Amino acid sequence: MLEFKLPSIGSDMDEGKLLEWKIKPGDRVKKGQVVAIVDTSKAAVDVEIWFDGTVHELLIEPGATIPVGTVLATLLAPGEKAGAPARPAPPAGRRKISPAARKRAEALGIDVDTLAGSGPGGAVTLADVDAAAAQRSSSKPAATSDRQAEMRKAIAAAMSRSKREIPHYYLAEAIAMERAQAWLSEANAGRPITGRLLMAALQLKAVALALQKYPEMNGFFRDSAFQPVAAAHIGVAISMRQGGLIAPAIHDVGEKTLDEVMRDLADLVKRARAGSLKSSEMSDPTITVTNLGEQGVEAVYGVIYPPQVALVGFGRITPRPWVDAAGGLTVAPVLTASLAADHRVSDGHRGALFLAELRDWLQQPEKL
């Protein structure tokens, strides 16, 4: 019997609300399949399962708010036979809530439907109500459906932790973008508008390639140690229309073609704004790239999203006086790329080399 537990979807998540099951007992599921939709403080996320199996029992009812790590469902491993059912299924439609728990929840103004049950047969008990009350009084005001407020709080928690724990250092580099722009215009010539590449795709790919040479920018700082990750799963900061932001990953950017990166980026932005991201996209980013060029700023010095160890920022591409290779003064489109990096993991020297590597890749757009 396999247990499918609520994964942590991003380091700032400690609980989630199950919105919907996408599976039912008896269904066969494959690794990577979306099996449930869970509301985090940031978004409704499609949660993927990480093993193959056959659904045996769904243990949590939609509507319940449960801590990360709660067993959501049990599954039979491939080839495993179901034994005697663990316990008779509860009658549909009525949750098990002990009379004492219901009474105390009423007195405290706690919605019992949002509680996970820890009693026999998953019953909500006094202890569950008390735990919810304690949590509410210690850290949180009344549970609110206000997504914006929740997101603001999540961002506040993650960014405060970052600035508290991560000794940031910042570097910036002005990069001539003439060649990249020229290459991009040529590549887009003849393409339909919907098929065109954006500079953002080139930037992401360039970051991924630069990371191959400077792996200390890519990975996680956990338990007082850096854990490098080979693949570049780049979190793309996407601002939400209603405020706040989210930074889901494009996986394996280094292995993808520009067209694939572009397609994934467009897909990700669309889904992020529609609120249908996958759990792996939320939990996997190994570095974040933020681009505020569209908003008109020249440069951005970002705050690292823990437990990541670096963030690359791009400003707008703007014509500026530029000394070309021959020493002549010209006007060229220039981009300011910045690096915010974790000094516990890397030093300015390596950070500078990384930015130089990034600059060099952007001079060779045809190789991206």
Partner 1 sequence: MKISYREAMRQAMHEALAGDPRVFLMGEDVGKYGGTYAVSKGFIEEFGPERIRDTPLSELGFVGAGIGAALGGMRPIVEVMTVNFSLLALDQIVNTAAVLRHMSGGQFSVPLVVRMATGAGRQLAAQHSHSLENWYAHIPGIRVLAPATIGDARGMLAPALADPDPVIIFEHAQLYNLEGELADDWQCDIARAAVRREGSQVSVFAYGGCLPKAMQAAAELADAGIDAEVIDLRLLRPLDTETIAASVRKTHRAVVVDEGWKSGSLAAEVVARIVEDCFYDLDAPPVRVCSAEVPIPYARHMEEAALPQPAKIVAAVKELLNA
Q: Shortest Cβ distance from residue 115 to partner 1 (Å)?
A: 13
Residue 337 · residue 250 · CB < 8 Å: no
Q: Shortest Cβ distance from residue 40 to partner 1 (Å)?
A: 27
Q: Which is nearer to partner 1, 107 or 297 (CB)?
A: 107
Strands (E), 209-364: 219-222, 225-228, 234-236, 238-239, 245-246, 249-250, 277-278, 287-291, 310-314, 318-323, 329-342
Q: Is 134 in the site for partner 1 (CB under 8 A)?
A: no
Burial string for 193-227 (b: 16+ CB within 10 Å, else e) reads eeeebbbbbbbbbbbbbbbeebbbbbbbbeeeebe
Q: Which is nearer to partner 1, 118 or 144 (CB)?
A: 118
Q: Shortest Cβ distance from residue 108 to partner 1 (Å)?
A: 14
Q: Shortest Cβ distance from residue 270 to partner 1 (Å)?
A: 44
Residue 204 · residue 253 · CB < 8 Å: yes
Q: Shortest Cβ distance from residue 86 to partner 1 (Å)?
A: 13
Residue 67 · residue 14 · CB < 8 Å: yes
DSSP per position, 204-220: HHHHHHHHHH-GGGSEE
Q: Which is nearer to partner 1, 53 or 117 (CB)?
A: 117
Contacts of 236 (CB under 8 A, 6+ apart): 204, 247, 248, 249, 250, 265, 268, 269, 288, 289
Question: Strand, helix or coil at 46?
Answer: strand
Provide the β-strand partners of residue 312.
289, 339
Of residues 40, 65, 70, 98, which one binds partner 1 by CB under 8 A?
98
Q: Is 119 in the site for partner 1 (CB under 8 A)?
A: yes
Residue 152 · residue 336 · CB < 8 Å: no
Of residues 103, 222, 270, 343, which one binds partner 1 by CB under 8 A?
103
Q: Is 99 in the site for partner 1 (CB under 8 A)?
A: yes
Q: Shortest Cβ distance from residue 112 to partner 1 (Å)?
A: 13
Of residues 1, 77, 86, 100, which one binds partner 1 by CB under 8 A?
100
Of residues 126, 171, 258, 356, which one binds partner 1 by CB under 8 A?
126
- The piece of 48-56, 92-100, 138-146, 320-328 that touches partner 1 (CB under 8 A) is 92-100
Q: Considering CB under 8 A, how many residues would be counted as binding partner 1?
A: 13
Interface positions with partner 1 (CB under 8 A)? 98-103, 118-120, 123, 125-127
